[in-house]
Every structure is written in structure tokens, then in C-alpha cells.
Amino acid sequence: MEGSTADLIRAQLRRLRVAAGLSQEEFGKLVHYSASMVSAVETGSRPYDRSFLTRADEVLDSGGLLVALLRIAEREGQPSWFLPWLDAERLAQQLRVFQPSLIPALLQTEGYARAVIRCDDLLSDEEVERRTAARLDRQAILDQPEPPQLIAVIDESVLHRRDERFWPVMVHQIEQMIACAERPNVSVHVIPLSVGLHIGLSGPFSLARGVDGGWVAIMENQLTASPTDGEADLATLSARWETVRNEALSRQQSIQLLKKAAKSWT
């Protein structure tokens, strides 16, 4: 979600709560949140979701204002199920990303992103360009004065998916990933083909830790993605993260493998 839209929703939430004469603790009890959680949502250190905004509209008798603002954000280009994750990603202090089949979105070049998005032949050229721009916009978090720590784990097969359309794209993509991996706040780790089968092949997932220390996760599939901060889901994905991270090469070994893969494309 665009920062301005997210900030507007938070500002309206606080305004409505204050106008209703409710403290953060009183409001939290009504929407089943702790006072500290309400504070975190209002200050932007914790993401919100549709169910929270729906409850807030009901408690504050706002006529559906907060959900209406969320719909505006959706019309601006992002599906509703993805907005909580974009908010969590934008606010994260640490990001853990696992991708078994693609370069992670935060590390994609414009050419690679466009080529991947264009694989969906149901999209118009205009929509492909819009989605490409939106994906690149997300990468701005890595250039902030205090950027999050990004740890990305990929499967080596991602580097060898041969397609003539990808030939010039992949060389640039791998070179950029090497440059990113050499930044102090970014680590890229590769699971070598020699590992064979591993639990990560079940699908991609990401974890984001906010300033409050809380984690949010997202699991992706063909049609949607499922953001969650449920304790059981986070425990499962954290365990899977440890598994795929342990299967991967070290930072320097991964950079050397990336350099070797770049040469294979040239």
C-alpha cells in the first residue's frame, strides 16, 4: 500500500477513537486488541488488516469509513489480501525471504520482473507495466537511511532456468543480485542443486519482524497469498526457515556460486 494511504487510514483511526472518547486500552478491549497493539497500529509499527478495520468501524460507528479507505487503496492497484503484507514489509526491521522458483521480488531487476509478470498472458501490456512499477517501488525500502536487514534464500535451480527470452535479462539479474548481496544489510544464500529434495520446495514464504519485535508471515500460491501472524503458523514457518537456511551455502560461498552462474549465461 502507498505510504500516504496507510498513513491516512491510521490518522483517521486515531481521530475517530479520540472523538469517541476512548483510550487505547478501552478501544482495544472492544476490538479484542491490547492497548500496546492499538498503539502500534496507530503509529505504524504494526500492520492492520481488513478484519481489524471492520471491527473498528463498528465500534467507532464510522459508517464504514476505514474499510472504504481500504477499498480505495485496493483500487489503486493492490489486491486486498496483499495489503497487510506490503504494510508489514514497509515497516520491517528484518525480512526473511525464501523462493524456490524465482528471484525474490525485492531483488528483481526491471527486466526480470517484467518478464516474469508477462508470463501471465491474461494481462494487458498496461497492466504488466503497472505491476512491474509497483514491484520496483517496493524495493525502495532497501535504500532507506535505516533499511531492514534482508536475508534471502533461493534454490540454485532459479539461476539455471534456460529460456532464450531470459538470456540478456538473467545476466543483468544475477549481476545485480551479486551487487545486492555485497551490501551490509542484504544477505543472499543459495541452496545448491546437490542438496536434492528439501522442505522449501513445498513453496515460497516470507517473514517480517517489526519494530515491536513481532513477526508477520506470508505464504504464496498460484492465485493468492496468505499473510498471517498466528502463533502456530509463525512457529511452523520459522522452523522451515531454519531448515532452508541451514541447507544453503554461506554468504561468500553463495556469491561465488552466483558469479559462476552469471558466467554460464554469457
CATH value at residue 137: 3.30.870
More confident residue, 266 or 88: 88
Contact present, 200 and 100 (Cβ < 8 Å) = yes
Task: Tell me: do 226 and 178 sit in the same domain.
Answer: yes
Rounded CA separation 1/77 (Å): 9
The model's pTM: 0.72
Residue 2 pLDDT > 50, yes or no?
Answer: no
CA angle 55, 233, 98 (to 5 degrees): 115
DSSP 127-172: HHHHHHHHHHHHGGGGGSSSPPEEEEEEEGGGGG---GGGHHHHHH
- Do 68 and 100 belong to one domain? no
pLDDT in tens, 121-174: 888 887 888 788 888 888 989 998 999 999 999 999 999 887 666 778 998 999
Residue 177 and residue 204 in one domain: yes
Sequence length of the chain is 266
For 9-49, write each residue's pLDDT tens digit. Answer: 899 999 999 999 999 999 999 999 999 999 988 988 777 77
Cα–Cα–Cα angle for 36, 39, 40, nearest 5°? 85
Q: What's the rounded Cα separation, in Å, for the pair 41 and 7?
A: 10
Contacts of residue 70, Cβ cutoff 8 Å, sequence gap at least 6: 9, 50, 53, 80, 83
Residues 105 and 178 in one domain: yes
**In contact, 97 and 149? CB cutoff 8 Å:** no
Count the domains in the chain. Answer: 2
Residue 25 lies inside a defined structural domain of this protein: yes
Of 220, 175, 178, 240, give the one whose Cα is nearest residue 79: 220
Residue 67 and residue 95 in one domain: no
Q: Tell me whether residue 136 is in a domain.
A: yes
Residue 47's nearest CA partner among 37, 34, 56 is 37
Do 247 and 120 sit in the same domain of this protein?
Answer: yes
Asked if 237 and 107 sit in the same domain, the reply is yes
Q: Is residue 80 part of a domain?
A: no
Kindly list the distances between the CA atom of residue 132 and the CA atoms of 42, 113, 126, in Å, as whole numbers in the listed order: 30, 6, 10
* Main-chain phi, psi angles of 155, to 5 degrees: -90, 140
Helices 83-91, 3-19: inter-axial angle, 10-degree rounding:
100
Kindly state whether residues 115 and 48 are assigned to the same domain.
Answer: no
Task: Specify the 3-state DSSP secondary structure of 252.
Answer: helix
Kindly state whether residues 55 and 97 are assigned to the same domain.
no
Q: Can you give the residue range of the structural domain that contains 30?
A: 3-75
What is the helix (H) or strand (E) element at residue 226, kind and residue range? strand 225-228
Same domain as 100, residue 53: no
Do 119 and 226 belong together in one domain? yes
Considering the domain architecture, whether residues 101 and 212 belong to the same structural domain is answered as yes
**pLDDT for 75:** 54
